[in-house]
Structure 1
Amino acid sequence: MVKVLIAITSYHEVFYSDGKKTGLFVTEALEPFLEFAQKGYDVEFASETGTFGYDDHSLGEDFLNGKAKEVFENKESPYNKALDKIKKAADLNPKDYDIFFASAGHGTLFDYPKAKALQKIAAETWAKGGVVSAICHGPAIFDGLNDLKTGEPLIKGKRITGFTDKGEEILGVLEIMEKDHLLTIKQIAEKEGATYVEPDGPWASFAVTDGKLVTGVNPQSAVITARNVIAAHESVSN
């Protein structure tokens, strides 16, 4: 059976100017989970500490509605049952997974670059020929993540996307990020030697596949990114 690890930020603190907390952006884990589960994949969740909290803004009607909201509110849904068993990344065997998917929320900017256990799982998944993927702010996982075979940045020379600088500006968080010395996804791409691919607009549904590397730009892209991950895995397997 195909094994998938969905990585989750463990950072859950006040971030926004309205006093709301950041954390896991719910649909960026929930919608990919549903896509992978529908394919019959075995999906697990892990964060660096084994704990998490939701981004307050992600729970509003703008983002959480329809089927996703039904699944979220059903305590017995496979998604909630899987999330109840969230693991500490260091307790997992990093060689176990065929797909690594980094979910997001601004919290990832704080902990993913230092999340050595999650990064090890991503690196091992890549080394065995698996798919490594990230959505929105999830590509923060690539900051300091090296290819085990070459020692070079895993995304060096590759094309990636992720949440746009324009989007950060519209949300009014660029100054907050600068104060906390947080890099934007575009800055992380440049730092690690990747080509950052810009979508038509910050809220467009948009994903980029570069071989076994799949990235998406925002919550609106969660489903298409997960489907591209499935396609990339199937092309590797065949």
Structure 2
Amino acid sequence: MTKALIVVTNTARFAGMNRATGVWLSEATHFHEVMANHGIAVDYVSPTGGYVPLDPGSLAPDAMDATNWRFYGDAQYRERRLAHSLRPDQVNADDYDIIYYAGGHGVMWDFPDSTAVAAIAQSIYQRGGLVTAVCHGVVGLLAMQDAEGQPFIAGRHVTGFTNEEEKINQLTDAVPFLAEDALKRAGANYSKAAAYTENVVVDGRLITGQNPQSARGVGKATIQVLQEANND
């Protein structure tokens, strides 16, 4: 049975300032819903396991839709996925065909150095699985290496949260680095669309989305790639 692993952050606060952060809820739920609608089971993992904070901005009235309210109102989802996410050492990479890095500003502090999660992603990819990410979640790809030990995204076509979008957030100086710049430094062929519009880039079995508006699109592209592979 096809199974997906969603990676979420453990970081609850911006470093050096009194501002809460965490996973951006829709970036987890929109992808999760697409998987569920296609009969794909989903687990959640985080760099240290356990509690997963929610970015309060993702719970604002204008950020919540029917999908978010359904997941947020599901006590089992909150308990199993967010209160008790898996640790990397509890994950058997062979059980998964898809890994998906969800975003939210918290990931800027714990995804890039999470080599344990990266090892899971590398194993999934090397077995023919898909590596996917959205928004700030793309910084999780920075910890990945290819079979030759080179940056996984070097020479690959990707997108992710833009410098312009970070500027609109007025958080350029609050994050440890900018996702767009980091992807480019790692040798990726980075592209972007207008700020806060859906943009999904597919490079074989690597699928990335630019912003929260792209999470569902990453899920749909994932399903399409899976279906095409099954038809070959």
TM-score (norm. length: structure 1): 0.90
Deviation at 1:127, TM superposition (A): 0.5
Match of 1:185 in 2: 179
Match of 2:20 in 1: 21
**8 Å CA contact retained: 1:158, 1:195:** yes
Q: Higher mean Cα deviation, 82-91 or 38-47?
A: 82-91
CA–CA separation in structure 1 for the residues paired with 2:21 and 2:186 = 25
Match of 2:113 in 1: 114
**8 Å CA contact retained: 1:89, 1:118:** yes
* Runs of 5+ unmatched residues, structure 2: none
Residue type at the aligned position of 1:202: A
TM-score (norm. length: structure 2): 0.93
SS at match of 1:45: strand
2:126 aligned with 1:133, yes or no? no
CA–CA separation in structure 1 for the residues paired with 2:16 and 2:213 = 20
Q: Deviations over 1:183-238 (max 9, x none)?
A: 22211211211111111x11101111010000001111111111011112222333
Q: Deviations over 1:126-172 (max 9, x none)?
A: 1111110000001101113101x222211111110011100000110
1:94-173 equivalent positions in 2, closer than 5 A: 94-147=93-146, 149-173=147-171
Match of 2:72 in 1: 72
**8 Å CA contact retained: 2:192, 2:199:** no
**8 Å CA contact retained: 1:208, 1:216:** yes
SS at match of 2:111: helix
CA–CA separation in structure 1 for the residues paired with 2:161 and 2:88 = 24
CA–CA separation in structure 1 for the residues paired with 2:152 and 2:19 = 33
* Runs of 5+ unmatched residues, structure 1: none
SS at match of 2:184: helix
**8 Å CA contact retained: 2:114, 2:143:** no
CA–CA separation in structure 1 for the residues paired with 2:178 and 2:102 = 16
Judged with a 3 Å threshold, the aligned counterparts in structure 2 of structure 1 residues 85 and 170 are, in CA distance, closer, same or farther, namely: same
SS at match of 2:95: coil
CA–CA separation in structure 1 for the residues paired with 2:95 and 2:66 = 33
SS at match of 1:87: coil
2:46 aligned with 1:32, yes or no? no
Match of 2:196 in 1: 203
CA–CA separation in structure 1 for the residues paired with 2:185 and 2:33 = 33
CA–CA separation in structure 1 for the residues paired with 2:230 and 2:84 = 28
2:193 aligned with 1:194, yes or no? no
Deviation at 1:85, TM superposition (A): 4.6
Question: RMSD of the TM alignment (CA)?
Answer: 1.7
**8 Å CA contact retained: 2:4, 2:98:** yes
Q: How many residues are matched?
A: 229
**8 Å CA contact retained: 2:160, 2:209:** yes
Match of 1:212 in 2: 205
Deviation at 1:65, TM superposition (A): 2.3
Deviation at 1:7, TM superposition (A): 0.4
Residue type at the aligned position of 2:44: F
**8 Å CA contact retained: 2:14, 2:106:** no
SS at match of 2:48: coil
**8 Å CA contact retained: 1:146, 1:152:** yes
**8 Å CA contact retained: 2:142, 2:152:** no
Match of 2:49 in 1: 50
**8 Å CA contact retained: 1:105, 1:137:** yes
